[in-house]
Structure 1
Amino acid sequence: MSKFVEDYEVFDLGEFELQSGAVIHGGKLAYKTFGELDADKSNAVVYPTWYSGFHWDNEWLIGDGMALDPAKYFIVIPNMLGNGLSSSPSNTPPPFDRARFPRVTFYDQVEAQHKLITEQWGIETLPLVTGWSMGAGQTYQWAVSYPDMVQRACPFCGSSKTSEHNFVFLEGVKAALTADAAFKQGWYDAPPVRGLRAAARVYAGWGFSQAFFWDQVYKRMGHSRRLGLDLAFPSLEDYLVWFWEGHFLDPRRDANDLLSMLWTWQYGDIGQTPGFDGDTVKALQSIKARLIALPAEKDLYFPPEDEQWASQHIPNGEVRVIPGVWGHFAGSGDSPVDLEYIDDVLKELLAS
């Protein structure tokens, strides 16, 4: 019996060659759609998933009267390669299973998604690509890989190139997870629970800002549209165990899958797109879409300064900073105020 609800479809990627030259044999891309594609195929929006997220974790930004309204747009949520639904360490048969699953770049992620968009529906233009965190990285990659296809882009709480500081943060998450003896270099038969709990504790210090903890916002987080729950935790420890350890211990999240996505994130750089020879600035300059980047004011690993640096090189680029103390999780769908801010910007962008 599958540990996933079968509320999605799967596109056959076939023998999918990666940027490294490795091949995912019998590759699969899981996706979910909302709304209907217009006769002229001009209303499609691509909205990729984020680190450890699945398509249902994106649905908070879709709804009647919202920017991503299924009555207006055909919204495609592709699950990242490595997330456990699309081809991943946890679902690939030997000999490329678990620790042998090949490395996947942001470029590879977008190539798989482009294959879906063009071959499944014959779509040639995208009014919008948007996404949070690693979804933002894929948004930048879409704008660079297919500049004539992407009309508008809105990456929120993410970057076009993973900074060295961000890389080091992820080294901490990786070290905590792999230090568990039960991890067995990726060849475990049962989840490395101690490592997953430790990784969650490391992550907990980064997802939200210092001010979030100073103000004890975890005691009154409000209604999370993503989780469909009112979030309020009586103590810091209760918050750490329920929100963070609970997330990493969800049986749908596999340790090797988390490490696969983490590698994609660490080595994210649109400058590595074929034709740019590692020149990130040149890649940014190639973007034709109107792009509004939405960093969060107190994001500890995707700070606004990074996007302000990138924006100066994008011909039609702009940066707006999401205010408040939620840090990176301003983009998660858990903060009602930040959700409204993101939705308002998307409405303005789509109306332009």
Structure 2
Amino acid sequence: MSEDYEIYQINNFTLQHGATLKEAKIAYKTYGQLNKDKTNAIVYPTWYSGRHWENEWLIGRDKALDPERYFIIVPNMLGNGLSSSPSNTPEPYNASHFPNVTVYDQVRAQHELVTKHFGIETLVAVIGWSMGAGQSFQWAVSYPEMVQRILPFCGSARTSEHNIVFLEAVKAAITTDAAFLQGDYQTQPTKGLRAAARVYAGWGFSQAFYWEQLYKKLGYASLEDFLVGFWEGFFLDDRDANNLLTMLWTWQHGNVGNTPGFNGDHEAALSSIKAKAIVMPAERDLYFPVDDEKYEVSFMQDAELRVIPGVWGHFAGAGMNEEDTAFIDAALRELLAR
């Protein structure tokens, strides 16, 4: 775990569903220096269960996200274990009692960090993978005058019903472990976490990825080795069950139409986006299919659909395959030049 991050505290942070966190904490890390006129900032939110250091594969002097040029802020999502979460919040909102957090809440907290702590009034871009992509869309809807560009990859502005069904399986895997104890466990429900990993394994990569046995490129000797070593290891890597369920709720309820003023109208919210956008679904993503993003882009004013080719599925956006990383980086470089 990386300890090199900072905490920004928001007192009396009232969430969209009515609960108030007395001391909401946003964990974040920055890369590069903010320029004098504060016009070189980029926000790069985390994803489902991700932590800031797991975004660093797209940051570097040889990348579009060059810290020599840009001030890159990586805020950790509420619920991820570093920012305010079930695992680190005192009573009465501890553990299973942690309140529901929407994507709108996530972005509003990040906006306070960006504006009140750093004094930034305009953003060069907001980018992100998976749930980070959802936050990118939300930034552009919530703060259209502030966000100049967005590049959401392998994610959506509204969670589809098919995606919700998948997440129900993940939820069931965790909560039906007898050790879960309705969220009041003293030790992690590891059987449930391992089961959730097995559910995830059938979705994160494409059918063709498995057909071609590309997990061997990642150093796994067999399918079972991959299921245990990569997937179960992923879910057991300092990830808390209640935290996962909190972020899962946020994911299931993702919808930019629930931004105040749009009355649930997802299409109207997308139409309100002023930012230049390249929206990048992966060709074989089972969570966020290309057709879903083609539909969303059709309502946006200045957006291009650019499909990440290949068979790595959702994990095309995770920095694990060099060709996918180069493709995303090239698109980001192009967008930043516009």
Using structure 1 for the length normalisation, give the TM-score.
0.95
- 1:319-330 paired onto structure 2 within 5 Å: 319-330=305-316
- 1:252-291 paired onto structure 2 within 5 Å: 252-291=238-277
2:198 is equivalent to residue 232 of structure 1: no
Aligned structure 1 segments of 4 or more residues deviating by more than 6 angstroms: none
What do the CA deviations read for 1:149-201 (whole angstroms, capped 9, x no partner)?
00000000000000000000000011011110000000000000100000000
Aligned partners of 1:118 and 1:29: how far apart in 2? 14
Aligned partners of 1:59 and 1:146: how far apart in 2? 25
Aligned partners of 1:335 and 1:261: how far apart in 2? 26
2:137 maps to a residue whose letter is: Y
Unaligned runs of 5+ in 1: 221-230
SS of the counterpart of 1:64? Answer: coil
- 1:56-135 paired onto structure 2 within 5 Å: 56-135=53-132
1:65 to partner: Cα distance: 2.3
2:306 maps to a residue whose letter is: R
Aligned partners of 2:123 and 2:23: how far apart in 1? 27
Check whether the contact 2:2–2:53 (CA below 8 A) recurs between aligned residues. no
1:95 to partner: Cα distance: 1.3
Change (3 A) 1:347 1:5: closer
Aligned partners of 2:153 and 2:35: how far apart in 1? 27
1:24 to partner: Cα distance: 1.1
What do the CA deviations read for 1:28-86 (whole angstroms, capped 9, x no partner)?
00000000001010000000000010000000000012100000000000000000000
Task: Identify the match of residue 236 of structure 2 among 244, 249, 267.
Answer: 249
1:259 maps to a residue whose letter is: L
1:339 to partner: Cα distance: 0.4
Check whether the contact 2:262–2:269 (CA below 8 A) recurs between aligned residues. yes
Aligned partners of 1:232 and 1:297: how far apart in 2? 24
Aligned partners of 1:36 and 1:261: how far apart in 2? 30
Match of 1:33 in 2: 30
Aligned partners of 1:134 and 1:208: how far apart in 2? 16
2:301 maps to a residue whose letter is: P
Aligned partners of 1:280 and 1:163: how far apart in 2? 12
SS of the counterpart of 2:18? Answer: coil
What do the CA deviations read for 1:232-261 (whole angstroms, capped 9, x no partner)?
2110000110100001011x2100000000
Task: Identify the match of residue 44 of structure 1 among 35, 41, 47.
Answer: 41
Aligned partners of 1:34 and 1:179: how far apart in 2? 41
Task: Identify the match of residue 142 of structure 2 among 126, 145, 148.
Answer: 145
1:347 to partner: Cα distance: 0.2
1:345 maps to a residue whose letter is: A
1:5 to partner: Cα distance: 3.5
Match of 1:350 in 2: 336
Task: Identify the match of residue 17 of structure 1 among 14, 20, 23.
Answer: 14
Match of 2:168 in 1: 171
Check whether the contact 2:204–2:315 (CA below 8 A) recurs between aligned residues. yes
Aligned partners of 2:2 and 2:52: how far apart in 1? 11
Aligned partners of 1:116 and 1:182: how far apart in 2? 37
1:6 to partner: Cα distance: 1.9
2:201 is equivalent to residue 204 of structure 1: yes
CA RMSD of aligned residues (A): 0.6
1:234 maps to a residue whose letter is: A
Aligned partners of 2:56 and 2:62: how far apart in 1? 14
Task: Identify the match of residue 311 of structure 1 among 289, 297, 309.
Answer: 297
Aligned partners of 2:61 and 2:118: how far apart in 1? 24
Using structure 2 for the length normalisation, give the TM-score.
0.99
SS of the counterpart of 2:8? Answer: strand
SS of the counterpart of 1:198? Answer: helix
Task: Identify the match of residue 301 of structure 1 among 278, 287, 307.
Answer: 287
SS of the counterpart of 1:13? Answer: strand
1:301 to partner: Cα distance: 1.1
SS of the counterpart of 1:126? Answer: coil
Identity of aligned residues (%): 65
Aligned partners of 2:297 and 2:23: how far apart in 1? 38
Match of 1:228 in 2: none
2:330 maps to a residue whose letter is: D
